[in-house]
């Protein structure tokens, strides 16, 4: 009887222990979560992402703005060509490994970094991101615009409504990166800042009709420019201008005869192409444009990411700066230097030291 009692107590204790283990199991069994990237793919991530390889310059910029640079263990090759000056904000960038670029990855070098996630561009070859995933590493693809799967996979998409596509896409990309990095509050604050400054621009442009919009042109080396489907057209439109090259799609080379027919009233040049400013000043052909004759050729500041590209600086600062250049009287109450410094301190955590 005593032996049976002991056996009963043992079985009862064992049963209770098993019940406790079963009830507690969900707490330990699943330490992953799911996010959806901009190609609509469900990506399983660790509960906390601590090691990030970023092979996409737009995303790299936002990671710095979310003040998550300490999570980076690898970045895109030639990142400095797209993020000139970023190492002034985050000096560690120049010392990080570079296991790949926008369309290729060195798997051996990538695996050495043991990343929790790899962030790549939406138009990266399928075999590239499939190889990374087959190695057991989650991949997040970002496009920074919203479109159907076919267009979302292209470098030069055909977008029915570019403004809507980039507006929704930028907001989505920032929030996705906030989720990936556990920086949701900082991501929401960045989105709010962009939206507030866009509202400020729209308010100051009240009364500007389609007929009176300033004709704009973005001059790149060797007579290349941006047409429909690129963010450059959106930034001009948001700033109260009209892109004279809207009739072409994507990034293309044009000729001087066409530029003279368009006769832009204002020409913008990105800071990374400063030599184009000198070319315009010395060219008799360029001097025939209204913009050159009236001294309205402007070099856009490059805070971190060149304006004309879809990035938070363009939304929050570039559109405002451009609008002030196009309509100085309407924006004479706006101190761009104060807004830029606020943005830099709030998101990058450093004061701005460049030109405005």
The pTM of the full predicted model, rounded to 2 decimals, is 0.83
35-182: CATH topology: Rossmann fold (3.40.50)
Q: Please check whether the two domains, 35-182 and 209-348, share a CATH topology.
A: yes
CB atoms within 10 A of CB 339: 19
Give 206's strand partners. none
Question: Domain spans of the chain?
Answer: 35-182, 209-348
- pLDDT tens figures, 299-353: 988 754 555 567 899 899 999 999 999 999 999 999 999 999 999 999 999 888 7
- Domain 209-348 sits in CATH 3.40.50.1980: yes
Query: What pLDDT shows up at residue 11?
Result: 44
Q: What is the mean pLDDT, run by run of 10 residues, along the chain of 356 residues? A: 46 44 41 94 96 96 96 95 83 96 97 98 95 98 78 62 90 98 98 97 95 95 90 90 93 96 95 91 96 94 61 91 95 94 94 73
Angle between helical axes of 319-326 and 231-238 (0-180°, round to 10): 50
d(CA 132, CA 108): 11
Query: What pLDDT shows up at residue 23?
Result: 42
d(CA 210, CA 274): 30
- pLDDT tens figures, 70-108: 999 999 999 988 887 788 889 999 999 999 999 999 999
């Amino acid at each position: 009887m005593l032996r049976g009692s002991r056996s009963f107590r043992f079985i009862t204790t064992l049963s209770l222990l098993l019940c406790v283990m079963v009830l507690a199991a969900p707490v330990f069994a699943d330490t992953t979560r799911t996010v959806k990237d901009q190609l609509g793919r469900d990506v399983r991530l660790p509960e906390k992402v601590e090691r990030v390889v970023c092979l996409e310059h737009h995303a790299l910029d936002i990671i710095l703005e979310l003040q998550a640079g300490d999570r980076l263990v690898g970045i895109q090759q030639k990142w400095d060509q797209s993020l000139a000056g970023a190492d002034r904000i985050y000096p560690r960038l120049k010392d990080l490994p570079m296991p790949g670029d926008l369309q290729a990855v060195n798997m051996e070098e990538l695996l050495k970094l043991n990343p929790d996630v790899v962030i790549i561009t939406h138009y990266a070859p399928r075999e590239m991101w499939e190889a990374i995933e087959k190695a057991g590493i989650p991949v997040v693809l970002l496009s920074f615009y919203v479109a159907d799967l076919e267009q979302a996979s292209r470098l030069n998409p055909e977008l029915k409504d570019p403004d809507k596509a980039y507006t929704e896409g930028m907001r989505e990309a920032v929030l996705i990166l906030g989720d990936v990095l556990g920086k949701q509050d900082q991501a929401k604050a960045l989105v709010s800042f962009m939206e507030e400054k866009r509202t400020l621009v729209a308010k100051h442009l009240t009364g500007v009709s389609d007929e009176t919009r300033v004709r704009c042109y973005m001059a790149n080396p060797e007579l290349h420019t941006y047409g429909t489907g690129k963010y450059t057209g959106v930034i001009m439109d948001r700033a109260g201008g009209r892109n004279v090259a809207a009739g072409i799609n994507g990034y293309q080379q044009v000729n001087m005869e066409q530029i003279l027919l368009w006769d832009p009233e204002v020409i913008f040049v990105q800071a990374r192409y400063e030599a184009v400013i000198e070319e315009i000043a010395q060219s008799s052909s360029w001097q025939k444009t209204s913009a050159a004759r009236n001294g309205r050729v402007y070099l856009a500041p490059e805070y971190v990411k060149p304006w004309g590209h879809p990035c938070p600086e363009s939304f929050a600062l570039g559109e405002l700066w451009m609008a002030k250049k196009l309509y100085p009287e309407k924006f004479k109450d706006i101190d761009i230097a104060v807004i830029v410094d606020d943005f830099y301190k709030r998101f990058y955590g450093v004061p701005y030291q460049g030109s405005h």
